[in-house]
Amino acid sequence: MASEDIENKEYDALIVGSGAGGGMAAYVLATAGLKVLLLEAGRSYDPVKETPMFNLPKDAPLRGGSTPEKPFGFYDATVDGGWQVPGEPYTQGSQEKGRRFDWWRARMLGGRTNHWGRISLRMGEYDFKPYSRDGLGFDWPISYQDLAPYYDKTEMLIGVYGTNEGLENTPDSSDGVLLPPPNPRAYELLAKKACDKLGIPVIPSHLAILSERLDHENIPQKLFPDNKLAQDVTRESMKSRAACFWATPCGRGCSIKANFQSTTVLLPPALATGNLDIITDAMVREVTVDKKGKANGVVYIDKDTRQEKFASARAVVVAASAAETSRILLNSKSTLFPDGIANGSGVVGKYLMDTVGAGVGGQIPALENMPAHNEDGASAMHMYMPWWLYKEQLRGDLNFARGYHIEFGGGRSMPGAGAFGGMGDFTEGAYGKDLKKACRRYYGSFVWFDGRGEMIPNDDSYCEIDKNQVDQWGIPVLKFHWKWSDQELNQAAHMHKTFAEIIEGMGGNVTTTVQTDGAKAIINGGAIIHEVGTARMGSNPKDSVLNPYCQSWEVPNLFLTDGAPFVSNADKNPTLTIMALAWRTCDYIVEQFKKRNI
């Protein structure tokens, strides 16, 4: 692009945020031929050039361990982020235990997709109609069938390994969509053996990692049968991605582009169309409206000059991550929308959800003194346990209504900060040659199990604008309110009990405290970093913000494509659904443009 002013260009669509939802919107809209401007609050970032793939822990400060500035460790790809972002505070409605919501953000091109866990699970039929099943929470206005084709397309585009197992509410992908899963590790097979006896299924995990190169000859054609531009840029992008080489931790990012990051998979082909411009270091403050009540652009803070700027487009797509998206809507006040744009229902900010998390660790004598062998693999799970007690739950045999899946780890991974830190207590104080022998013996014999469960939306969990505080960009900040219900607390206690049973079934010993009190087992709101909701879709403008196409009921050229439209938060990690939903929404936007409705 020549260097004339972006502000003088006319854009069809303006996207706020470049993570999972914004990146997907940029890709779908730019390949469809729309002129797109994307504003990203963080800095430009290139995993290909910036990722320390093979660096050892000892090359980094504190062996790469976590600090207040880098909560997931030095090498974690997060830029200017964490549960605190410098200069961008948020507040809590209550300091009581269990009432806080900790908000994780990343300020970088590609958002949290640069360092996410890549676990990519589809929501199932029940997950879209939870109210119909048990009378709690709310139904989505769409069904699994509406999203299934987009799950297929998203999985084909980003590359997801896994298998089809035909299990209840654990949807299969269409034939030929998934890549083959990697071989399991020893501890994963041992856990499977124990789980078989307990009736818990253990199946290949679904991760957005290329176990093989993508079929660049055929997939682009399947994704975009009638769109040569989309095919071309997608083919080039797919060609540039290598298969995983089963080494190096994914949380640093992947310079060979084997795992999914918005910055390697979505933004490059979108830019290659020539239809996308990106401005980084642009912190959006509010969406503006014209006299007729249509969105006409956004006001953003140029971080370099610290001054407000305006950018305009015919349609506005907000994907700043769920709570931040609601913050932007709530801060977009005008005479037409005194309570924030698109908020006639008063639902913006409401029904904030995270995933329920609880974990238990153990040590497995059978895994001691193993011959040295490589267990790196995809640097994350090769297998996992989907929720299995649907029948019991429906019968009312459990004291909580929704399911959880189990993520687990262990094995002979690379020792990092904290390596063998627990060995002193574990051996009742070994030192000297005894300590060295113990480390050899026990290395690879520790396992941990983490539950990831569904939270039912409630009236006490929401965010609003704090009237008394602004951030360093002069933008009013969010205040969070949070409360778990007994549903989540009972579920967390059930997790602990189950994990202890699995560990014992493996012939092992639990090394952490097993809580019977769910309030002690459950991890803080926000800690699992799967926040969704706050601007839900629905079938009625009175109690929802968006229609089933993530289009604002009140402002027809305003769309949301991140986790904000979620009506419920199934135990399935949300990002695959965010992307599938974003793709569907953007197809709809393109259609609306063609029909000249926008």
Partner 1 sequence: MSKDKTNLSRRNALRLIATTAAAVPVIGCSEKAAPKVELKEDKAATKPAVKNLDAPKQTLARGTPTDPDLLNPVVPWEMQLDARELAVLAALCDVIIPADEISPSASSVGAHHYINEYVSAPYSNNKADLVTIRGGVVWLDGESRRRYQGPFVELNESQKNAICEDIKWTRNAKPEFQAGARFFAKVRVLVSTAFYTTEEGMADIGYVGNRPMASFPGAPPEVLKRLGLES
The conformation of residue 111, written as its DSSP 8-state character, comes to G
Nearest to 167 by CA among 407, 381, 395, 403: 403
**Of 284-292, 332-340, 346-354, 424-432, which part binds partner 1 (CB under 8 A)?**
424-432
Site residues for ligand FAD, 523-582, by CB under 6 A, read: 529-530, 562-563, 573-575, 578
Task: Give least dist CB 430 to ligand FAD, A.
Answer: 34
583 lines the binding site for ligand FAD (CB under 6 A): no
309 lines the binding site for partner 1 (CB under 8 A): yes
**Of 66-74, 88-96, 129-137, 331-339, which part binds partner 1 (CB under 8 A)?**
66-74
Q: From CA 86, how far away is CA 82, in angstroms rounded?
A: 9
214 lines the binding site for ligand SF4 (CB under 6 A): no
Nearest CB to ligand FAD, comparing residues 364 and 528: 528
Nearest to 354 by CA among 92, 529, 536: 529
Site residues for ligand FAD, 320-339, by CB under 6 A, read: 320-321, 324, 328
Q: From CA 50, how far away is CA 77, in angstroms rounded?
A: 9
Rounded to whole angstroms, what are the CA distances from 592 to 34, 159, 548?
A: 12, 29, 14
Task: Decide: 244 and 7 in contact? Cβ < 8 Å.
Answer: no
- # chain residues binding ligand FAD, by CB under 6 A: 39
Q: From CA 479, how far away is CA 116, in angstroms rounded?
A: 25
2 lines the binding site for partner 1 (CB under 8 A): yes
Task: Decide: 39 and 282 in contact? Cβ < 8 Å.
Answer: yes
Q: Tell how strand 446-453 and strand 315-318 pair up.
A: unpaired
65 lines the binding site for partner 1 (CB under 8 A): yes
Nearest to 259 by CA among 407, 115, 367: 115
Cβ-proximal residues to 298 (8 Å cutoff; 6+ apart), any chain = 14, 16, 39, 284, 285, 286, 287, 288, 310, 311, 316, 328
594 lines the binding site for partner 1 (CB under 8 A): no
Q: Could you tell me the two tokens for 456?
A: 């039912």
Where does residue 564 fall: left (phi above 0), alpha (psi -120 to 50 degrees), or beta otherwise?
A: alpha
Which member of 378, 438, 492, 558 binds ligand SF4 (CB under 6 A)?
A: 378
Closest residue to ligand FAD in the complex (CB): 19
**Of 129-137, 197-205, 263-271, 285-293, which part binds partner 1 (CB under 8 A)?**
263-271
Nearest CB to partner 1, comparing residues 45 and 408: 45
Nearest CB to ligand FAD, comparing residues 363 and 552: 552
The conformation of residue 532, written as its DSSP 8-state character, comes to B
Query: Which of the choices ligand SF4, partner 1, ligand FAD, none does residue 321 contact, using the CB cut-off of 5 to 8 A by kind?
Result: ligand FAD
Q: From CA 247, how far away is CA 240, in angstroms rounded?
A: 19
Q: Could you tell me the two tokens for 458?
A: 């409630």
340 lines the binding site for ligand FAD (CB under 6 A): no
CB-count burial class (<10 Å; 0-12, 13-18, 19+) for 515:
middle
170 lines the binding site for ligand FAD (CB under 6 A): no
119 lines the binding site for ligand SF4 (CB under 6 A): no
Q: From CA 441, how far away is CA 507, in angstroms rounded?
A: 16
Task: Give least dist CB 579 to ligand FAD, A.
Answer: 8
Neighbours of 91 (CB within 10 A): 13
Site residues for ligand SF4, 237-256, by CB under 6 A, read: 244-245, 247-248, 250, 254, 256
Query: Which of the choices ligand FAD, partner 1, ligand SF4, none does residue 96 contact, using the CB cut-off of 5 to 8 A by kind?
Result: none
Which member of 7, 196, 392, 460 binds partner 1 (CB under 8 A)?
A: 7
Nearest CB to ligand FAD, comparing residues 442 and 549: 549
160 lines the binding site for ligand SF4 (CB under 6 A): no
Which member of 13, 14, 15, 16 binds ligand FAD (CB under 6 A)?
A: 16
Chain positions contacting ligand FAD, by CB under 6 A: 16-22, 39-42, 72, 104, 106-108, 111-113, 115-119, 283-284, 319-321, 324, 328, 529-530, 562-563, 573-575, 578
Residues that bind ligand SF4 (CB under 6 A): 209, 244-245, 247-248, 250, 254, 256, 258-259, 378-379
